[in-house]
A and B are shown apart, each in its own frame.
Chain A
Amino acid sequence: MRPTYSLYLGIIFILYSNCSQKTTTNLAEAPTPSFAHLPLEAVPLTELSAWNNPGANWQLAGTAFGAYAKEKDLQLTEGSGILANLPSDSARENLFSSWEHGDLELELEFLLPKGSNSGVYLQGRYEVQLLDSWGNGELRHADCGGIYQRWDPSRGEGKEGFEGHPPQTNASRAPNLWQKFHILFRAPKFDESGQKISPATFEWVYHNGQLIHENVEVFGPTRAAAFEDEAPMGPLMLQGDHGPVAFRNIRFKKYGAQQIDLGALSYEIFDYEGDTRPDFDSLSKIQEGTVDSFNIAQTSEKREHFAMKLSGEITVPTSGTYLFQTLLDDGGDLFIDGQPVVQNGGEFEFERLGGVVDLTQGTHTLELHFFQVTWRAHATVFYEGPEMELQPLASIDPFANRQKAKPLVIEPGETPEMLRGFVQYKDEKRTQVLSVGHQEGVHYSYDLEEGALLSVWKGKFADVSQMWVARGHSQLLQPLNAPIEPHAGISLAFLDESQANWPLEAPAGFKAIGYHLDEGMNPIFDYQMGELTWEDQFEPLPDQVGLKRSINLSAEGPQEGLYFKVAEGTTIDKMPNNLYRIDGSYFLDVGELNVNLTDLGSQKALLLPVLADTKQEELSYSLIW
């Protein structure tokens, strides 16, 4: 997932509740009702019909798992939802989609056992490498996420390989954890004579949410491509001849050249001084005319306050579900065929709001009811539709050419570096968070109020440009690699026998005392609840394997019904050797701890009874990812 999405979602969901009753949409059927983008189309993995003559090495599975430390250990259970490749000497075919694509947005999850190797070939020609690159330091084009090199024997021995692109960051997880790519690929383009006019381009590639490529041009098929030529269209290919691999949640959107056409817009300007949505019927018209875009400045109106109606006809090239978004200063509503699709009552934030609508091929009316309160007047309308990328409709996206802020990078020295800033945890902005960076390259963010390990990551530590440059409007500390987000909430609680009701809030008497530093300048977090006190601390495991957490509890006597929550997730897989796999995203090595795998509402959890028959207890476990 791209990090920017989560920022949008917050706003967009608010609007969803406002306008869902009023719009004519089929949201119930949409797999992910988001107004940031239309959902991607899922490749069904209940059967292999989406694939062209799959070899015997390709099969469907219910789960895929294995030890992280055992060579090529990929085990499957029966079922569907997972597409797995177990190559043998007799069957090691590559897999081709039955559909072909040009420009493509592709999202897929993959799982590789230790030492394995595969690849995702766009158009069967341009490979993003899949490899167990866990912990690799110096990155090559052949590392996971790399755009594999091209190969030409005629270049001479030792020089055959060329134009490979290593990933910018090693965002790899441990073997047998699920990982994710999100790719925007541009197919090469050709003129009428078949002459190539622009090269194949990876506009961006995200690995586990981390940007690893930006605008990488590829001037010919990479090594081991299925085709030697280049073409406008080609099938997606998953490599099957190198090693075991599993895929799930393969989703895509194809983008073509079709667009919505907008005819002339007629506009009417009304006298209006309010700061909320006007009742247009009660306003007096002061001006009217015709324009060809939503650029409000195009009209000669320069009043500070006014209301405006812009209306016209759109021609829709294909029937289907369309997403519309508006970016308005200050507010207004977008109507299609008289129905409200996007509504903005004059929000303070200058951000996109959206709504979806089903449209048939042909013409439809479109109206924007706009009102201007103070300062700048601005309107951009965006749309996305079947094989139509999200794009402005006859208007200018003011953020299109905005330069990225220069990062302000903080790296730990010999002792751990602590940083306090706001942290984005899933879709929440957490404000009481200490982030700690270690020279060993394993870092974490910790909610001091709850005593929760919010996120862990590896590699570079943090970018604080959003905190320390100018006023620092978001005050967000940004991890410099894709984090794992274990779970939030309090970690210690008294439970009844059912163990089913983990408290959402800290009980009375719970106190986050603060932290003290050990001799190595590592923070040890101190808590108290009644007579109970405990310390919580973290330590990087050697070789960037993961992070060890240690808790030291003491009380005046044994505590009945006291539990420590070690993990929480939608799925928790028990593995051999005291290992658990949480949501397929990290391993937990619990050592000798006697944890219970239980249900907490719709979630699974690993709970550990503590101080059951003693007044002092030390426990530790490790997160491995």
Chain B
Amino acid sequence: MKRLLIHICLLFTGVCFSVGPLHAQVLAEGTYYPIETVTIPSSIVLEVGGLAFDAQGALYASTRRGEIWKIKDPASSQPRFSRFAHGMHEILGLSYKDGSFYFTQRGELNKVTDTQGDGIADRYETIYRWPLTGNYHEYSYGPKFLSNGDMIVTLNLSWIGHGASLSKWRGWMLRISPDGEMTPWGTGMRSPSGFGFNDAEDIFYTENQGDWVGSGRMTHIAQGDFAGHPEGLKWSNEPGSPLDLTFEDVDDTQGISLYEYGEKVPAVKPPAVWFPHTIMGIATSDILLIENDKQVGPFKGQLLVGDQGHSKITRVALEKVEGVYQGAVFGFREGFSSGILRLEWSPNKKEVYVGMTARGWRATGGEPFGLQRMKWSGRVPFEIHSIHAESDGFTLKFTQDLDPQTAANPESYEITDFTYKYHHNYGSPPINQEGKTISRIELGEDKKTVRLYIPGLRQGYVNEIKAEGVRSQGSQALLHNVGYFTLNRIPGGAAASASSEDQSTTSERSANVKRNTQMPPSWGGKADVSLTLGTKPGLIFDQEKIVVKAGNKVELTFNNNDDMLHNFLLVSPNQADEVGNAAMKLGLKGEEMAYVPEMEEVIYHTGLLEPGSSEVIYFEAPTTPGEYPYVCTFPGHFMTMRGILKVE
């Protein structure tokens, strides 16, 4: 079985490169932000969990295999690798301070030091230890240092068919002093692999879609905040807990958003920014503050966010209104080689080192692990710099002078708002979508801003703001023409914060011939063949090839036993890439459409299956013999998750 898996992996690595999604976009981004690869010796499995530089400018990478590698001259063509430390359990965070390295492994926060100065760590100290049950999903992340020397760490939930806090402080963010004094800081976390600080040193963490989490998001965590996943609340009655809300207090509210739930339950902290699933990544990770305008362009104070599943970096511009953070996420740079877990500035603060691992989940980059760096060419791309809420609309700030004609034309913009359900289910489709009308546009005197007047904005909603038609003075199109702005506070008091009485647009599409979940009566109660297809962790089907006869009446049971969403599409010969790419472009409608694009090449399909669910579909096999690919078109999956239905 293992051998088979490796085979599939090699097979599709080639495919990834040839069909790499949205290559034009990647090429355009590359002219502003070139990516260089740090060559890793073939004997080293550098599944990066943490990155840090020492005072001499050597880079250190901690790995999932429990090692810390020292990389001298990482920017040279021949970086020198030496093993600095080893024997830890999956190190998913690394920091350097005053001659020592600090990291988390599964069960503790540690400090390691090379006291002899021979390049090998010789002192391993425990700063704080927490209990583990032994569940594989008990990952621990961090630390990152606050300016007073305290450290922040986060603890993943276990997975037992759903996220669960099986031992103390799982699902929490902890603040720990250098001498091991621990303060439980906040909870409601599910998979908090990324966190960081903005320029005010407020703490933000990123979350991945999952149970209780409608989509990826970034949440500001002040002491005592509850971010939404209730499992961590099992420990809220422990000494030191900063909140009183209990696990039993949280309803499975079915239908209202986390924002609306937060209006009823004050401990709830709705996210500062939602990352629409599959559009702005699928597995948000590290957060890196842009400290000045000389690093990646005029984005001082904004945040870069990694994405593990989509091998890309997004950019977040926050604002604070009435004490509450909100802001927008934009595309920034795609095309990294593996799953991005860590981002770290080079010592001169001009390059971003990107540490990657895809083991167990896979990433669009295709490589199992990697280390790259992203530079800035010095040219400023034409981008939406930031979006700011106004009492009756938005101000969009751009990075270059605008062409007045296109910028003032309402046709250049398209604005839709929506939100997500807060419920125990895995993920949520966008709900209550509503198109917005721009009543007036004013151009700013600085030639870089646009004031959009929009009636009927709704607090707690995500606004998809497309500016596809806007051109710069030099007639350039935007490098990324859409931002997703989460509106938590309308300045100057809320306008109508519309309630989300069920206007859901998510009802199942009516049955169609491509997805038949009932046996056709004409079959007389009997299929010619009954097939069962399952999924396996790592984005693969459990069978690579299925053989049927032309015209066979097929009853197919598709079991999704993974912990992610999957579908099944049977497509025309050689059209898997075509269909997969089309599914990726469905945007906000994707989830509602089960990521099934409306195209001839799709022959039959299932719905989008939650983890642990199944669906039976009935279809007649094509009458033309041939090899028909089947594929999961959930964005990011189609490159590896496919097989062949051979029709004889």
- Write the residues of chain A forming the contact surface with B, with a CB cutoff of 8 angstroms: 297, 300, 302, 304, 348, 374-376, 402-403, 405-406, 417-422, 429, 431-432, 434, 436, 448-449, 468-475, 512-517, 521, 523
Contact = CB atoms under 8 A, between A and B. Distances in A.
Interface string B99-141: 0000001111010000100001111111001011110100000
Contacts of A474: 134, 136
B481 to A, nearest CB: 37
Nearest to B107: A432
A302 to B, nearest CB: 4
Contact of B555 (A302, A418, A516, A521): A302
B134 A516 contact: no
Interface stretch (B274-282, B490-498, B610-618): B610-618
B208 to A, nearest CB: 15
B614 A348 contact: no
A417 B359 contact: no
12 contacts: A304-B615, A431-B107, A431-B131, A470-B359, A470-B537, A471-B359, A472-B136, A474-B134, A513-B126, A514-B110, A516-B122, A523-B124
A428 B132 CA distance: 13
A475 B65 CA distance: 11
Interface in B328-373: 359-361
Contacts of B124: 514-516, 523
A448 B123 CA distance: 14
B136 A419 contact: no
Given A375-B613, A420-B87, A514-B123, A406 B2 contact: yes
Contacts of A473: 136
B122 A468 contact: no
B564 to A, nearest CB: 12
**Chain A facing B: main interface SS:** loop
A434 B106 contact: no
Contacts of A402: 1
A468 B65 contact: yes
B538 A475 contact: no
Contacts of A471: 136, 359-361, 537-538
B326 to A, nearest CB: 35
A376 B1 contact: no
Contacts of B613: 304, 374-375
B299 to A, nearest CB: 35
Nearest to B164: A348
B216 to A, nearest CB: 20
Contact of A375 (B5, B134, B361, B560): B560
B534 A516 contact: no
B129 A432 contact: yes
Contacts of A514: 110, 123-126
B134 A348 contact: no
Contacts of A403: 1-2
Contact of B561 (A302, A375, A469, A515): A375
B560 A420 contact: no
Given A420-B89, A470-B360, A516 B614 contact: no
A468 B45 CA distance: 10
Interface residues on chain B, size class: 35 or more
B126 A420 contact: no
Given A420-B106, A514-B124, 4 more contacts: A302-B555, A419-B87, A449-B129, A472-B136
B532 interface: yes
Interface in B161-189: 161
B557 interface: yes
A419 B66 contact: yes
A26 B9 CA distance: 53
A77 to B, nearest CB: 43
Contacts of A297: 530, 532, 557
Contacts of B361: 471
B123 A516 contact: yes
A419 B106 CA distance: 13
Contacts of A304: 613-615
Contacts of A406: 2-3
A302 B87 contact: no
Contacts of B389: none
Nearest to A432: B107
Interface string B554-566: 0101011100000
B88 A420 contact: yes
A471 B615 CA distance: 26
B266 interface: no
B125 A513 contact: yes
A93 B63 CA distance: 61
Contacts of A434: 87
Nearest to B180: A511
Nearest to B613: A374
Contacts of B89: 420-421, 475
Contacts of A449: 129
Contacts of B132: 422, 431-432
A76 to B, nearest CB: 44
Contacts of A429: 134
A124 B438 CA distance: 95
Contacts of A436: 87
Contacts of B239: none
A473 to B, nearest CB: 5
A521 B107 CA distance: 23
A196 to B, nearest CB: 35
Given A419-B87, A513-B126, A375 B559 contact: yes
B614 A376 contact: yes
B86 interface: yes
A383 B2 CA distance: 31
Contacts of B538: 470-471
A374 B134 contact: no
B19 interface: no
Nearest to A464: B65
A218 to B, nearest CB: 30
B160 interface: yes
B136 A375 contact: no
A470 to B, nearest CB: 5
Contacts of B129: 432, 449, 512
Which of A297, A406, A471, A473: most chain B CB closer than 10 A? A471
Contacts of B107: 431-432
A448 B134 CA distance: 15
B252 to A, nearest CB: 14
A524 to B, nearest CB: 10
B474 interface: no
B122 A517 contact: yes
A329 B542 CA distance: 18
B611 to A, nearest CB: 9
A405 B559 CA distance: 23
A431 B612 contact: no
Contacts of B534: 376
Interface string B521-535: 000010000101010
Interface in B541-579: 555, 557, 559-561
A522 to B, nearest CB: 11
Nearest to A465: B2
Which of A304, A432, A434: most chain B CB closer than 10 A? A432
Nearest to B65: A468
Interface in B397-438: none
B555 A475 contact: no
Contacts of B115: 516
A418 B87 contact: yes
Given A348-B160, A376-B559, A302 B126 contact: no
B563 to A, nearest CB: 9
A71 B87 CA distance: 41
Contacts of B88: 420
A429 B615 CA distance: 36
Which of B86, B122, B361, B530: most chain A CB closer than 10 A? B122
A431 B122 CA distance: 23
A419 B67 CA distance: 9
Contact of A420 (B105, B555, B559): B105
A523 B110 CA distance: 15
A227 B161 CA distance: 58
